[in-house]
C-alpha cells in the first residue's frame, strides 16, 4: 500500500485517493503522505421486507416508469439541476445515460419518474437490482423547483416497494455523510449505517 501511494504521489499536482471501508492503514498512509481527509461516502442498508409508511403525493402528481426517448431530455435536466454541485452525478449526459441503460441490470419499470398534471418531470428514483438478493437506491433526484413537496420521500418509498416486489432481500444506497437532509430521509425509512460501510476520499490540492 505504501509503495502504491508513493508511486501515485510521485507526480506533482492535484490528486484524490479513495479508501474503501475507512481502513486504518489507509489513514496512516494518508497522514504520512500529507493527504487531507475531504469526503466521506456512506453505505446505508435496510431489509427489503421491512414495512414502509404510506405516502401521499401532492395534488396532480403521479409516479410512473420510464416511458422511453421522450423522457431522456427532461430526466437529464432534472438530474443536472438536482446534482449541480455533485462531483460525479451532476456530469451525467446523454451518452452516459445511454451507457447505463445498456447495462444488463437496467429495467425501465425501475426508473420511476414523478410528473405533474401537465406531464412535466419533477423528479425521479432510479433503482437497481444487482442480483436476486440485493437492490439499490441508485439515484433519487428532485428538481429544485419541486423541493418541499415531499417528492424525495414519495419517490424513495415507491422505489423501495418496486424492489421488494422484485424479491430482493436487502436494499442499500450511497449518501454523502454531510448530506444531513438525505440522511434524515433515509434513516426515517429504516436505513442504517455501519462504520465499516464508509468510503473515505483523501486529497492533495
Is 200 domain-assigned? no
Say if residue 160 is in the same domain as residue 186. Answer: yes
Strands annotated E in 99-133: 111-115, 121-129
CATH (domain of 136): 3.40.630.30
| Residue 8 domain boundaries | 2-42
Beta 134-142 vs 170-176: how paired, if at all?
parallel
With contact defined as beta carbons under 8 Å apart, do 114 and 126 qualify?
Answer: no
Neighbours of 180 (CB within 10 A): 9
Say if residue 32 is in the same domain as residue 69. Answer: no
Phi, psi of 115 (to 5 degrees): -130, 155
**What's the CA gap between 7 and 155, in Å, rounded?**
44
Say if residue 13 is in the same domain as residue 110. Answer: no
pLDDT in tens, the chain (205 residues): 889 999 999 999 999 999 999 999 999 999 999 999 999 999 999 999 999 999 999 999 999 999 999 999 999 999 999 998 887 888 899 999 999 999 999 999 999 999 999 999 999 999 999 999 999 999 999 999 999 999 999 999 999 999 999 999 999 999 999 999 999 999 999 999 999 999 999 999 8
Say if residue 24 is in the same domain as residue 115. Answer: no
Is 74 domain-assigned? yes
Split into its structural domains, the chain has a count of 2
Amino acid at each position: 500500500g505504501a509503495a502504491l501511494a508513493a508511486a501515485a504521489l510521485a507526480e506533482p499536482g492535484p490528486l484524490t485517493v479513495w479508501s474503501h471501508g475507512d481502513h486504518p492503514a489507509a489513514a496512516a498512509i494518508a497522514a504520512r503522505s500529507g493527504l487531507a481527509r475531504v469526503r466521506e461516502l456512506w453505505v446505508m442498508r435496510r431489509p427489503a421486507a421491512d414495512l414502509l409508511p404510506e405516502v401521499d403525493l401532492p395534488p396532480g402528481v403521479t409516479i410512473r416508469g420510464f416511458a422511453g426517448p421522450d423522457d431522456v431530455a427532461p430526466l437529464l435536466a432534472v438530474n443536472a439541476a438536482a446534482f449541480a454541485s455533485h462531483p460525479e452525478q451532476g456530469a451525467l449526459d446523454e451518452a452516459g445515460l445511454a451507457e447505463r441503460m445498456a447495462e444488463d441490470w437496467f429495467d425501465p419499470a425501475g426508473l420511476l419518474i414523478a410528473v405533474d398534471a401537465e406531464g412535466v418531470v419533477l423528479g425521479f428514483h432510479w433503482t437497481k437490482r444487482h442480483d436476486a438478493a440485493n437492490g439499490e437506491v441508485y439515484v433519487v433526484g428532485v428538481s429544485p423547483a419541486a423541493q418541499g413537496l415531499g417528492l424525495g420521500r414519495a419517490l424513495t418509498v415507491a422505489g423501495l416497494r418496486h424492489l421488494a416486489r422484485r424479491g430482493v432481500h436487502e436494499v442499500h444506497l450511497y449518501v454523502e455523510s454531510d448530506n444531513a437532509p438525505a440522511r434524515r430521509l433515509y434513516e426515517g425509512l429504516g436505513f442504517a449505517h455501519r462504520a465499516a460501510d464508509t468510503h473515505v476520499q483523501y486529497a492533495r490540492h
